[in-house]
Amino acid sequence: MPDNTAVFDLLAGVRIVDFTQFEAGPSSTEALAWLGAEVVKIENPKMGDPGRRLRPGQPDNDPYYFHVFNANKKSITLNLKSPRGLALVKDMLRRADVCVENYAPGTIERLGLGYDVVRDLNPRIIYAQVKGFGEGSPFEHNLAFDMIAQACGGTFSVTGAPDGPPTRPGISLGDTGTGMLMAITILGALRKRDATGQGSRLQVAMQDAIMHYMRINFATQGLTGKPAQRGGDKVPGVNNAPMGLYPCKPGGPNDYVYLMTSRANPDHWDRLLKLIGREDLIGDALYATPADRVEREPEVDAVIAAWTRHHTKHEAMRLIGDAGIPAGAVLDTMELQNDPSFEQRGIMQVMHHKVHGDFKMPGWPVRVDGKPSRIAPSPVLGEHTDDVLGTWLGLSEADIASLRRDGAL
């Protein structure tokens, strides 16, 4: 296979001190690493990022969570509670462009590395913080996890069957969704820093970030005057039919195809009827307009399902798509992983990890000049301690040995 990836150099020379853990912070710094920044995770010497070891007290035998959020980074161990460890990280912060943290509220300040301290060390730094709830919120001091942020940010309220309970979207948008907004702002602040020499303090809360992804729902509420609803597989507020999931053979839990006809393109309905052998309904006044079809939605859906049940979701996606109607099969993670097209295009890549072996995972999906960013392995705990202390701070092997003896590393 020809090399379908490239080592990105968009952020060449950008140095990031990374105090992040779990997902919301790490997803943000990983995006910057994929673009070419040098991201150095600062980890405690005992256990490192708790995301390395989701099962406390057990061996680190589920490394995939860590891999997916920490590819292309370096790791150094530093005991931030030792005076020499703290002094070292301050030296690093003096030489850094960006630092990012997502500890529990109050932690970074207790470590002696709050914003005021770090700004005084380095007024050019971008100091970025991710928390669960925003400064000034009644819940400012509360812990949050992805599910909490999603519940409080609204996504549960709009997900699930119309007559069923609120439902968790199956993706960790409270974490990675927040991380992406922070990465954008860091890069904006870096541009200002380059132009003016002036750093910035950046803060984002997961609850607030979720609302950014809920904007369609707020727009729908603007129209209806009611809280945005749950719609199962439909999109509440969009008065259009047919649209939705249709069952395919052989009837497994994900054997469905999503199709939607456009309100802006009346041909879609006629094309669909032709494809499914129901030309008899073309021009039938009962189904002529999107509004008519919404009124008779159960009938319309039954007509389509009678055809889709005779096809696999892959056939249905191809045939409906070829007829010029937007359609997509419901794919599960195994189908996505096993589809060779993603690996051929560099969208999924195999991480070769010297301890944990090979793991295929999605990388940064945006291509630059035709190629996605090449995945490098997530770091072993402390793998780059000597390298980084040497290149950033000019420390010798003897210096490092002394720090180690002293419990600073």
Taking each helix axis from N to C end, the angle separating 385-393 and 397-405, rounded to the nearest 10 degrees, works out to 120
CB contact set of 272 (below 8 Å; sequence gap of 6+): 242, 259, 261, 304, 320, 323, 325
Tokens 């997530």 sit at which residue? Answer: 378
The CA-based dihedral angle spanning residues 36, 37, 40, 41, taken in that order and rounded to the nearest 10 degrees: -80
Q: Rounded to 5 degrees, what angle do the CA atoms 384, 22, 209 make?
A: 125
Q: Of 81-89, 158-166, 274-282, 388-396, which segment contacts a copy of itself by CB under 8 A?
A: 158-166
- Beta carbon nearer to a copy of itself, 362 or 390: 362
In the complex, least distance from residue 328 CB atom to a copy of itself, rounded to whole angstroms: 4
Q: Of 105-113, 135-143, 277-285, 301-309, which segment contacts a copy of itself by CB under 8 A?
A: 135-143
Residues forming beta bridges with residue 129, ordered by sequence position: 101, 203
Tell which one of 24, 31, 88, 99 touches a copy of itself (CB under 8 A).
31
Active-site pick, 18, 175, 208, 301: 175
In the complex, least distance from residue 97 CB atom to a copy of itself, rounded to whole angstroms: 11
CA dihedral for 60, 63, 67, 69, sign (positive or negative):
negative
91 has catalytic annotation: no
Indicate whether 264 belongs to the interface with a copy of itself (CB under 8 A): yes
Q: Of 27-35, 77-85, 298-306, 382-390, which segment contacts a copy of itself by CB under 8 A?
A: 27-35
- Beta carbon nearer to a copy of itself, 374 or 395: 374
Q: Of 232-240, 375-383, 388-396, 400-408, which segment contacts a copy of itself by CB under 8 A?
A: 232-240
Spatial distance between the Cα atoms of 24 and 55, rounded to a whole number of angstroms = 19
Which residues in the 53-92 window bind a copy of itself by CB under 8 A?
54-56, 62, 64-65, 67-69
8 A C-beta contact, residue 150 and residue 170: no
Which residues in the 188-227 window bind a copy of itself by CB under 8 A?
188-192, 194-195, 200-205, 207-209, 211-223, 226-227
Which residues in the 348-407 window bind a copy of itself by CB under 8 A?
348, 359, 361-362, 364-370
- Beta carbon nearer to a copy of itself, 64 or 114: 64
- Beta carbon nearer to a copy of itself, 284 or 335: 335
Tell which one of 82, 159, 312, 402 touches a copy of itself (CB under 8 A).
159
218, amino acid identity: F
Helix (H) / strand (E) element for 403: namely helix 397-405
In the complex, least distance from residue 126 CB atom to a copy of itself, rounded to whole angstroms: 10
Indicate whether 24 belongs to the interface with a copy of itself (CB under 8 A): no
How many CB atoms sit inside 10 A of residue 344's CB? 12
The per-residue b/e assignment along 83-103, b for 16 or more CB within 10 angstroms, e otherwise, is eebbebbebbbeebbbbbbbb
Indicate whether 329 belongs to the interface with a copy of itself (CB under 8 A): yes
